[in-house]
Structure 1
Amino acid sequence: MQRPFLPALGRFREMRDGGDLPMTPDFKDHPVMARQPYDFTQDAVVFEALRHAFARHLPLTGDGLTDVAPLFVVGLPWTGIGLVERILAAHGMVQGAGGISAMPLAAAKVAGTMAGAVLDIPVIQALGGKSAAVLGRAYLDEAGRSERRIIDTFALNFQYIGWIAQAFPKASIICLQRGAMDSVWGNFRHASDDAPPGWGWARDLMDAARYVLLFQRLMAFWRQRFPSRIHEVSYEFLLSDPEVQSRRMLAFCGLEWDAACTQNAVPMPDDGPIGGWRAYASHLGEVMEFFTANGIPLD
């Protein structure tokens, strides 16, 4: 039986009071955090290993699959990826597949490890020298095939961009970016005891801030390594001008304009308002200082 959803402290208080609230400095009294320890250094080591694996030579061998062209929407959870999926999936040539973990599972399968949906060092190392086409077929075995183009919105696929680019030379990769503080707060307030694998960082504000920085740095690496393969979308710009941003996304994906794409281009309630973190700014000073010190804009 699935365990009941246990909201993180931030969301619980946000739902209860709807305003600026007194919070303990480190939230260590929160039962989710007490039961689910997280070691940031493990993610830091994995992200560094990713950069090392793709720094010089691409690790997969041979040509990828050119007869299919999936759409991948990547980013951080709870930052608006659902809205991008809604826009793209409304196109007549696209079929939404949701946030499936097909690529992580395919990578673990081809690597011959038991990692499941979590990326780790053994997977990164074992994929070196594997066939790009084999990885592509393993992905399709997990995701399924369709006459229309599949849109995969598993957020943490941003870790797999290098392999995606090799396995699917015609894939379209869209990265959604959102303000750093909203990204931290949005994930913290949704963190739960039943959080999916690889999401333990969301249970602590400073761990979430550090993870956002890891994400930003890895995306900078992918942009440099695959300069023409990634289209980045600002969530804030998407809300302010959905038609222009939608047209750009469709053009990048090689799709004709479809007016249906913007008919329901409204924010998803769970993603929270832009600047929603500011209601709790008096309790987020350490996070703000961290981003400022690392040159990351707050919004």
Structure 2
Amino acid sequence: MTVTDRALGAAPALTHFAGRAGDHNDRAMVGSRLVAASFAARFGAEPVVIGQPQPALSVGWKEELAAALPALQEMSQRYEQLLGDGGVPVTALSRCAVALATLPRIAAHRPDAVVVWFDAHADINTPQTSETGYLGGLALSGPLGLWDSGLGSGLLPQNTILVGARDIDPPEQHLIDRGDIELVEVGPGLPEELRRAIGGRPVYVHLDCDVLEPGTVPTDYLVPGGLSLAQLHQAAEVLAESEIIGVEIGEFESPADAAPVAPLIDALEPVLQAVERPLNANRAGA
């Protein structure tokens, strides 16, 4: 699908994945609701809700995947429908593991696009290489076809860019070192390196909040050396130079309905404006 096709009437399609997906606490299920509400206010539309909050299990990947599978399958079907209709997904996730459902559909419908994965972790372990058995650590490797999640694959390594990953396990580092997947590191050269890596291709954005410096927003894993909100905004400006085919945000935690989401959404504003760009162009020409 081209930008012109999108301009024929596709609005941002808001989705809130509200259920558990490998959680070891309940806070991201609360936080995802806050992100979804912020999206709703920003775009003036209510999200489609997939799944429902349930107590975290905090068990191994196999049990977590089995428990989450019905909601993940529903999420996959949601993406299949909205992408088939030309929609642009703007999605609030609880945990990164929901990408097991979203990214295979992105790869199927937009094989020309690159997935830009903002995360403190590479998440390209497999059940065989993971030392923790955490489902979230397998979130990107499933869509890449490195193991069979039951939710599909099809994402090509050359269409995958890690940004800000710094807590990387040896098997993951091996894939990066041999050039299978590109890593853009945190630093003053990040905008230029990100622009080069994207190479003008359409972009799907995945943001795990732990890519940010600890304490910036509430999230689970605290890995020093992360992005500031100003650096995230600079990266968002680079992303917005391309066609943005969708956005998903996960791992925003809150113990109650009080965590401040606005600074995060403000940092991503260039990307959110780019999501609306074809629709606004169509309205202007009407």
Higher relative contact order (CA closer than 8 Å, sequence separation 6+): 1
Query: Between Structure 1 and Structure 2, whose CA radius of gyration is higher?
Result: 1
Higher strand share: 2
Structures share a fold, TM > 0.5? no
The structure that is helix-richer by fraction is 1
Question: Taking structure 2 as the reference length, what is the TM-score of the superposition?
Answer: 0.31
